[in-house]
Amino acid sequence: MVPPAGNGQNHDAADAYAYDAAAVRAKMSQTAASGEPRVVFLTFDDGVNTTMTPRMLATLKQYGVHATFFVVGNTITPPTAPILRQEFAEGHAIGTHSFDHVYTTLYPGRQGSTAAIVKEAADGVRALQSVLGTGYYPKVWRYPGGHMSWQNLAGADAALRQMNLTWMDWNAAVGDALGAA
């Protein structure tokens, strides 16, 4: 999949507060310099959902906060399409988080499958574009399970760069997806 001419856009309204995904990922691996302002990026995975996503959007709106939603393509359906449009209209970033989110397809034997990852990324982008328009391009991808969880991803990372997608992990979690201790 090739991004639209000009690499597409992922948001007009966010210019005042948006950050480049590659710069954010690089910054996450560095220690903040003394006196450097701290920035928090809220991210939500695995939607779009007709129950929880509207509640999250209402809370974010109440506090004037923006977030990035990493959307699984197969959750985009006629009932969820208006919610996805609302995320975009309210100025939130939207990234792709695969189409099916199936670990055994993406990482057979815990090894990344470049072909499967590229297909899932492309299918996820197409699903987003089916609702947000062909000029929309997410520019950011989150590996299901996180980049840090799998092996042999260099080929997939390079292929994602060719698709103008920057992979983004997280460096803090609330614990809901971390399993029992």
Report the pLDDT value the prediction gives residue 143, as an integer from 0 to 100. 96
Q: Which domain holds residue 57?
A: 42-167
Q: Within 10 Å of residue 36's Cβ, how many Cβ atoms? A: 10
Report the pLDDT value the prediction gives residue 178, as an integer from 0 to 100. 56
For the four alpha carbons of 68, 72, 75 and 81, in that order, the dihedral sign comes to: positive
Cβ–Cβ < 8 Å for 64, 92: no
Report the predicted TM-score, pTM, of the whole model to 2 decimal places.
0.85
Report the pLDDT value the prediction gives residue 122, as an integer from 0 to 100. 98
Give a yes or no: residue 159 inside a domain: yes
Alpha helices in the chain (DSSP H): 21-28, 52-63, 81-89, 103-106, 114-132, 154-162
Segment-wise mean pLDDT, segments of 10 residues, the chain, 181 residues: 48 64 76 79 92 97 95 98 97 96 94 96 98 95 93 96 94 61 43
**Cα-based distances in Å from 28 to 22, 89, 132, 141, 154:** 10, 27, 29, 16, 19
Contacts of 90 (CB under 8 A, 6+ apart): 57, 60, 61, 66
Q: Tell me, what CATH number does 68's domain have?
A: 3.20.20.370
Give a yes or no: residue 22 inside a domain: no
Give a yes or no: residue 92 inside a domain: yes
Give a yes or no: residue 173 inside a domain: no
CA atoms of 48 and 54, how far apart (whole Å): 9
Give a yes or no: residue 85 inside a domain: yes
Give a yes or no: residue 119 inside a domain: yes
Give a yes or no: residue 73 inside a domain: yes
Q: In what order do the strands lie in the sheet with 43-47?
A: 43-47, 68-71, 93-96, 140-141, 166-167
Give a yes or no: residue 103 inside a domain: yes
Report the pLDDT value the prediction gives residue 179, as an integer from 0 to 100. 54
Number of domains forming the structure of the chain: 1
